[in-house]
Structure 1
Amino acid sequence: MFEIVFDEAKRVMRLRLTGFWDAATTARFADEVRAESAAAMTRHDSFDVLSDAREFAVQTADVADRFRQLAEQGSARRTAIVMTSALAGMQARRSLAIDRVRVFGDMASAQAWLAEA
Structure 2
Amino acid sequence: MPNAHYSINFRHDIGLMDVAWHRFFTADDVGPYADECKVRFVTEGFKPGYLLRMDMSESAVQPQEAVAMFRTHFDGFPHARRIAVVTASAIARMQVRREMTQPYLRIFGTADEAMAWLMEDGCVPV
* Matched length: 116
Given that 1:16 and 1:53 are in contact with CA atoms closer than 8 Å, whether structure 2 keeps it comes out as yes
Paired residues for 1:2-41 under 5 Å: 2-40=6-44
Identical aligned residues as a percent: 30
Unpaired segments ≥5 residues, structure 2? none
Aligned match of 1:104: 108
Aligned match of 2:63: 60
Given that 2:22 and 2:56 are in contact with CA atoms closer than 8 Å, whether structure 1 keeps it comes out as yes
Q: Which amino acid aligns with 1:34?
A: K
Aligned-pair Cα RMSD in Å = 2.1
Given that 2:48 and 2:81 are in contact with CA atoms closer than 8 Å, whether structure 1 keeps it comes out as no
| 2-structure distance, mates of 1:71, 1:101 | 16
| 1-structure distance, mates of 2:67, 2:102 | 14
Question: Given the two structures, how large is their TM-score scaled by the length of structure 2?
Answer: 0.78
Question: Given the two structures, how large is their TM-score scaled by the length of structure 1?
Answer: 0.83
**Higher-helix-fraction structure:** 1
Alpha carbons of structure 1 residues 9 and 87: separation in structure 2 relative to 1, 3 Å: same
SS in 1 for 2:67: helix
Unpaired segments ≥5 residues, structure 1? none
Given that 1:81 and 1:110 are in contact with CA atoms closer than 8 Å, whether structure 2 keeps it comes out as yes
Given that 1:51 and 1:80 are in contact with CA atoms closer than 8 Å, whether structure 2 keeps it comes out as yes
Aligned match of 1:47: 50
